[in-house]
Amino acid sequence: MVEPAIAALTDAIKKLGNASSLHSAGRSVRKDLEQAREQIAQAIDCAPSEVIFTATGTEANNLAIKGLYWLGVKKNKKVIITSTFEHHAVADPITWLAEHEGAQVVAIDVDRNGFVDLKQLATRVEEHKNNIALISIMHANNEVGTIQDINQVVKIAGDIPVHSDCVQSFGKVELSFKKLGVTAATISAHKIGGPLGVAALILRKGLDIEPVLHGGGQERDLRSGTFNAPGIISFAAAAANAVDNRKERELKIRELKSELIQTIKKNIPDAWVNGDQVKSLPGIVSITFPKTDSEGLLLLLDGEGIACSTGSACSAGVQRPSHVLMAMGLTEDETTSTLRFSLSYSNTINEIAKLGSVIATVVARSKAASGKK
C-alpha cells in the first residue's frame, strides 16, 4: 500500500461507528465516507452518485454483468457480447449466466496483439442488435497489457449497455468515465496501492440494474452490506495519489519497461513480447521464452529474488494454459513458456540489471529441465 492510503486507513480505523447509523459516531463516519466517494468520483471523472462501493473487483463485475443482463431479460434480450480474452471475473459470470439463465454468448476474437476485432464486433451487433442485453469488453488486459479502443466499442454499440473492466487501467493511464462513454466500469483499490477487499462499480446515473446481493440496500438499493468505511477512505486516498502522480509515474514505468524488454531480448534472442507495445499499460510485460517451463522458470527467478508470474494472480495455483494467450494465437506449449513481469514506479534500473545478469542462466536451466522440443 502507498503511504497516503496507509495513513488514511490507520486514521479511519480509529473511528468507531457504522456509516449507516443515525447517531453522531455513525454520522461522522458517513461524512468521511461520502468525502471519499467524491474523491474517487473526481479521480475517474464521474458523478459521486455513480460510484457504487463493493468488496472486490470480481463482485463489481458480477454486479454489472448480471445486473445489466437481468435488466435486459425484462425486455426479452438475452445476448451477451464479450471478447475471448476477458479476465475470469468477467468471463466466469457470463458463463454462469449461459449455463443457468439461458444467456446467449457471442465471443469476439482478438488478434495477435490482443486487440478486439472491431469489424467482427460490428457484424455481430448488427446480427443480434434487437436481442443484446449488454456488451462487456475490458479496457486493458491483465496479462499482456493491451488497451482497447472502448470509445469505438461504445460507438458500435449505440444504445446497447457497455460494461468495461477498468481494474488494470485505473490510475495507470488517463481514464475518464465520461469520455469513455460506457454504461458501467469496474475499478479496484489494491491495483493502485490501496487496501485489499474494496472496489467500486461506476454505474451511469439514473440506471437501476438488478442487484446481486439483497439486504439493507446501502448503495442505491443496488448493493447491500455494511460499508467498509476504513477501506473506502483508504481507497480514496490511493486514488487521489495515483491520479495526482500518474503522468510522472507512467513515464518512469514505461522507461523501465523498455529497458526490461531490451535486456531480455539481448540475453535471450528467441524470446518475444506478447501484446501491443504502444497501446498498452506501462507496467505489464508478457514474454514467451520458447522451450522453457514457465513455472520452473518462475521458481528459478524467485530464488534469485526476482518476482514474476505465469499469468493472472487471480488464477495463482491453477495449472492451466492461459486463455488470454491462447485467444491471441499462441500454442499451449507457448503459453506454458510465458512469464508476466509487473513493474511499478518503485522499481529501479538496478533491478532490471539484476534480471539481466541471471536470465540467460535460468532460461538455459529451464530449457534443459522442461523436456520441450
Task: Report pLDDT digits (tens) over 281-322.
Answer: 999 999 999 999 999 999 999 999 999 999 755 555 556 789
Selection from 243, 249, 257 nearest residue 342 by Cα:
257
Three-state secondary-structure class, residue 16: coil
pLDDT tens for residues 159-211? Answer: 999 999 999 999 999 999 999 999 999 999 999 999 999 999 999 999 989 99
For the chain, give every residue range classified as CATH 3.90.1150.10: 247-370
- Asked if 241 and 193 count as a contact pair (C-beta separation under 8 A), the reply is yes
CATH 3.40.640.10 maps onto the chain at 3-244
- The total number of residues written for the chain in this structure: 373
Fold of 3-244: Aspartate Aminotransferase; domain 2 (3.40.640)
Angle between helices 118-128 and 150-157 (to 10 degrees): 20
Please, are residues 312 and 366 in contact by the beta-carbon 8 Å criterion?
no
C-alpha to C-alpha distance for 200 and 215, rounded to whole angstroms = 18
Overall fold of domain 247-370: Aspartate Aminotransferase, domain 1 (3.90.1150)
pLDDT at position 317 is 53
> What is the helix (H) or strand (E) element at residue 94, kind and residue range?
helix 88-101
Q: What torsion do the CA atoms of 40, 221, 94, 309 make, to the nearest 10 degrees?
A: 30
Q: Which helix (H) or strand (E) holds 222?
A: none
CA distance 207 to 50: 9
DSSP-derived 3-state class of residue 273: strand
Specify the residue for cell string 458463463: 95
Going by pLDDT thresholds of 50, 70 and 90, the confidence category of residue 20 is confident
Q: Tens digits of per-residue pLDDT, 27-73? A: 888 899 999 999 999 999 999 999 999 999 999 999 999 999 999 99
Q: What H or E segment, with its residue span, contains residue 209?
A: none
Site of grid cell 456509516:
19
> Of 46, 166, 308, 314, which residue is the catalytic one?
314
For residue 372, what pLDDT is reported? 83
Q: Decide if 234 contacts 8 (C-beta within 8 A).
A: yes
Q: For residue 75, give the C-alpha cell.
A: 425486455
Can you tell me the mean pLDDT for 123-139? Answer: 97
Contact assessment for residue 192 and residue 170, using Cβ atoms and an 8 Å cutoff: yes
The answer to whether residues 243 and 171 touch, using CB atoms and an 8 Å cutoff, is yes
What is the DSSP annotation of 124-189?
Answer: HHHHHTTTEEEEE--SB-TTT-BBP-HHHHHHHHTTS-EEEE-TTTBTTB---HHHH--SEEEEES
Residue reference for cell 466499442: 153
Average pLDDT, the chain: 95
Q: Quick check: 373 pLDDT over 60?
A: yes
CB atoms within 10 A of CB 330: 21
Query: CA-to-CA distance for 188 and 166, rounded, in angstroms?
Result: 8
φ/ψ (deg, to 5) at 186? -110, 135
46 is annotated as an active-site residue: no
Grid cell 475517474 — which residue?
44
pLDDT band for position 371 (cuts 50, 70, 90): confident
Q: What is the C-alpha separation between 188 and 139, in angstroms, rounded?
A: 14
Phi and psi of 251, rounded to 5°?
Answer: -60, -45
Burial of residue 71 (number of CB atoms within 10 Å: 0-12, 13-18, 19+): middle
Q: What is the pLDDT of residues 333-363, one digit of tens each?
A: 999 999 999 999 999 999 999 999 999 999 9
Q: Please tell me which of 10-24, 51-65, 216-230 the model is most confident about, judged by mean pLDDT.
A: 51-65
Cα separation, 255 vs 261, in Å, equals 10
Q: Beta-carbon neighbour count of residue 24 at 10 Å? A: 9
Give me the residue label for grid cell 440506471. 207
Distances (CA, A) of 300 to 292, 297, 304, 315, 369: 12, 5, 7, 20, 12
